[in-house]
Amino acid sequence: MNVMASDSGGPGIVSIGETPALRHPDASCSTAGLMAQAVGEALRNAGLSPAQVDGLGVASFTLRPDRAIDLAWRLGLRLNWCMQDEMGGASAINLLRQAWLALAAGQAETIVLVSGDHFTGADFAGLVRGYNRTAQDYLSPLGCEGPNPMFAMLTQRQMAATGLRREDYGALCVAQRQWAASNPNAAYRQPLTLAQYLDAPIVAPPLSRLDCVPVVSGASALVLRARPQGVHVRLVASGARYNHDQQEGDGLETGIAAFAPVLWRAAGMGPDDMDVVSVYDDYPAMALAQLCDLGVASAGDLPGFIARRIATRDLPVNTAGGQLSAGQAGTAGGMHGLVEVARQLLGQAGGRQLRGVRHGVVTGYGMVQVRYGMCANAAVLAREGA
């Protein structure tokens, strides 16, 4: 049925680690160094040493010329399982799904997943201009450089289709900034007002600077074990779609919509059972699109949904601030939401810890081809033990 499901008693996420999102890292900063910091924190939180790790999954755009196995060598890890993924915002859940299968199949006992990127301004401009062959040969020469124009057009169409106004997107950004205030790792933590949002400079109409994720350097990590002890997080069910509509569709509906009904059936739960939600927020319009695709929100009343549920925190969405406030550390942006839901379910979210959280859902989205992201996935997670 194209989704993964698992019962309790199987593998579990036992700990997380995350570096601060650095807007202006110093000259000594490196992708591998950030990854080591996140992995080290995750292992310390799990009470594990590097010698106990036998699996490594890596997502990064800027680790080159090194690859996952070079990182393993630099970290001194001797492995039975090693994987790499470059599918941007979809890479974290992609790796999670593969790691889960590997642990369940006995290929490894303790897997670390890590994503991280470190950019200078020139690195980032080069990455987006030559993101893939279409960007390099068609879109960038046309003057359509990077993701902003694509998502500006999707936002314009979402506004026309749903009646969303800039004030509504602003309310979502303000709510995420309020969550970021309690995340010491977030790049932007100072309160944001709706007036400030509306006054921000336009970068590609209707998008302003505050609709676009700040580029940061950082890394995120998770530790998974085949036979976890104590409190851990279980992958209840997950689904994924790649190139689901050949870029010939609407773009406002991601591949998540195609598997969401089966995902919830496999999970034995529905959207209303979720205590915490992370959706991939490269732009506010896409966060809302994924909430609709999951069945958490309805496209029929998105302004009301934002006002009643997101702005009031009735539904905790992107509780670390999301990429819009915490920052997007390249591929680590895809792991940010997964780490936050795992952190909440493990009860380690500090000043923003939600009470009594048992279940959460996370989405990933990314890899713009000619018009919008080609990859979308989601994972339903549950707290287990104690």
Partner 1 sequence: MSLNIDQCRACAHRFYPSRLWCPACGHDQAQAVAADDGELLAWTVMPAKGDAADDAGPAIIATVRALPDGPMLVARLEDMPTHIGQRLRLFGRETQGRVLPWAGTLPG
CB of 286 to partner 1, least distance (A): 15
Cβ proximity to partner 1: between 16 and 154 the closer is 154
**Which x/- pattern over 159-178 shows residues binding partner 1 (rule: CB under 8 A)?**
-x------------------
Residues 224-263 that bind partner 1 (CB under 8 A): 246-248
370 binds partner 1 (CB under 8 A): yes
CB of 241 to partner 1, least distance (A): 16
Cβ proximity to partner 1: between 204 and 342 the closer is 204
CB of 144 to partner 1, least distance (A): 5
Contacts with 47 (C-beta within 8 Å, 6 or more apart), sequence order: none
For residue 237, what are the CA distances in angstroms to 157, 234, 268, 300?
Answer: 32, 9, 9, 27
> DSSP of 220-268, one letter per residue?
EEEEEESS--SSEEEEEEEEEEESTTTT-S-SSS-THHHHHHHHHHHHT
153 binds partner 1 (CB under 8 A): yes
Structure tokens at 329: 């550390």
345 binds partner 1 (CB under 8 A): no
How far apart are the C-alpha atoms of 192 and 194, rounded to whole Å? Answer: 7
CB of 156 to partner 1, least distance (A): 5
Contacts with 325 (C-beta within 8 Å, 6 or more apart), sequence order: 173, 176, 177, 179, 180, 186, 187, 188, 189, 192
CB of 243 to partner 1, least distance (A): 9
For residue 349, what are the CA distances in angstroms to 15, 47, 180, 185?
Answer: 12, 18, 12, 12
CB of 174 to partner 1, least distance (A): 23
Interface residue with partner 1 among 203, 231, 307, 311 (CB under 8 A) is 203
Q: Quote the Cα angle for 280-323-271, to 5°.
A: 35
Interface residue with partner 1 among 191, 205, 230, 270 (CB under 8 A) is 205
How far apart are the C-alpha atoms of 214 and 304, rounded to whole Å? Answer: 27
Interface residue with partner 1 among 35, 108, 154, 222 (CB under 8 A) is 154
209 binds partner 1 (CB under 8 A): no
Q: 């309020």: which residue's tokens?
A: 178
Cβ proximity to partner 1: between 49 and 246 the closer is 246
CB of 276 to partner 1, least distance (A): 33
Reduced to 3 states (helix: H, G, I; strand: E, B; else coil), residue 359 is strand
Structure tokens at 6: 């698992």
156 binds partner 1 (CB under 8 A): yes
284, containing H or E segment: helix 284-294
Residues 269-308 that bind partner 1 (CB under 8 A): none
Reduced to 3 states (helix: H, G, I; strand: E, B; else coil), residue 40 is helix
58, containing H or E segment: strand 55-59
Of 51-59, 138-146, 275-283, 345-353, the window that binds partner 1 (rule: CB under 8 A) is: 138-146
Interface residue with partner 1 among 9, 23, 73, 138 (CB under 8 A) is 138
Of 52-60, 63-71, 135-143, 253-261, the window that binds partner 1 (rule: CB under 8 A) is: 135-143
Of 16-24, 81-89, 202-210, 227-235, the window that binds partner 1 (rule: CB under 8 A) is: 202-210
> DSSP of 101-151, one letter per residue?
HHHHTTS-SEEEEEEEE---HHHHHHHHHTSSHHIIIIIHHHT--SSHHHH
CB of 249 to partner 1, least distance (A): 9
Q: Quote the Cα angle for 280-284-286, to 5°.
A: 55
40 binds partner 1 (CB under 8 A): no
Interface residue with partner 1 among 38, 63, 187, 207 (CB under 8 A) is 207
Interface with partner 1: number of residues (CB under 8 A): 28
Question: Contact positions toward partner 1, by CB under 8 A?
Answer: 134, 137-139, 141-145, 148-150, 152-154, 156-157, 160, 203-207, 246-248, 370-371
